[in-house]
């Protein structure tokens, strides 16, 4: 059973979809991600892309993030996200959107919407890490100096798929291994112009 690790909603148990349709981020990976960013979340905006159960965004709000947008293309997943938002009492700090990730990136880009933190957990078999980094940064969804975290199964990130113009906006890419998954932390430069 998933739970909120710490913060305002510490210990609240979260629902998840039954079966193997959704692969939640493991407790170990979640703990590692938030250990890295926990002191910089206060008042920040967070995007939980491929939200699944919404556990990453809800953990961010619990630890001080001002707001989280949860995006998933599955209505079944979003029902669980809404249920978990209600359980944690974070309704006023949450926005839930049903959309395919590419369409959401396009529409958010057109609206000029961006975030301090983005966590993306796409299906491992689709190997979307490089594509997501390219689309999110090119679309301007990550604020200058912001942090994009992409979870995947591959040990190496294929940066050859990321255009040079996008790579120039990146300050650093760090890889962390948590059990059987990897999370790439992509930090943009403070002065970010694409």
pLDDT at 194 over 70: no
Distances (CA, A) of 119 to 15, 164, 165: 19, 23, 22
Please state the rounded mean pLDDT for residues 9-28: 83
In the chain, domain spans = 2-8+25-188
pLDDT in tens, 50-68: 999 999 999 999 999 999 9
What pLDDT was estimated at residue 24?
78
Gap between the Cα atoms of 1 and 6, Å rounded: 15
Residue 123: pLDDT band by 50, 70, 90 thresholds? confident
Give every CB contact of residue 164 below 8 A, 6+ residues apart in sequence. Answer: none
Q: Residue 105's pLDDT is what?
A: 97
Asked if the model's pLDDT at residue 21 lies above 70, the reply is no
**CB burial class (10 A; 0-12, 13-18, 19+) of residue 97?**
middle
- In the prediction, which pLDDT does 27 show? 85
- Main-chain phi, psi angles of 24, to 5 degrees: -65, 150
- Statement: residue 181 has pLDDT above 70: yes
Confidence of residue 28 (pLDDT cuts 50, 70, 90): confident
DSSP, res 123: -
Phi and psi of 184, rounded to 5°? -95, 125
33 vs 193, which has greater pLDDT? 33
CATH number 3.40.50.150 given to 2-8+25-188: yes
Residues 6+ apart with CB under 8 A from 19: none
């Amino acid at each position: 059973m998933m739970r909120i690790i710490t913060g305002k909603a510490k210990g609240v148990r979260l629902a998840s979809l039954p079966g193997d349709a959704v692969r939640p981020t493991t407790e170990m990976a979640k703990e590692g991600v938030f250990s890295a960013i926990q002191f910089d979340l206060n008042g920040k905006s967070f995007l939980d892309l491929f939200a699944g159960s919404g556990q990453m965004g809800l953990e961010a709000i619990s630890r001080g993030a001002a707001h989280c947008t949860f995006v998933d293309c599955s209505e079944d997943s979003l029902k669980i996200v809404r249920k978990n938002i209600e359980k944690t009492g974070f309704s006023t700090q949450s926005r839930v959107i049903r959309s395919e990730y590419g369409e959401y990136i396009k529409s958010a880009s057109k609206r000029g919407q961006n975030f301090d933190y983005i966590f993306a957990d796409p299906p491992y078999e689709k190997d979307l890490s490089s594509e997501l980094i390219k689309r999110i940064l090119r679309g301007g969804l990550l604020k200058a100096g912001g942090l994009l975290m992409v979870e995947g199964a591959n040990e190496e990130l294929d940066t050859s798929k990321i255009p040079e113009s996008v790579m120039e906006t990146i300050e650093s890419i760090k890889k962390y291994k948590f059990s059987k998954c990897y999370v790439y932390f992509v930090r943009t430069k403070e002065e970010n112009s694409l």
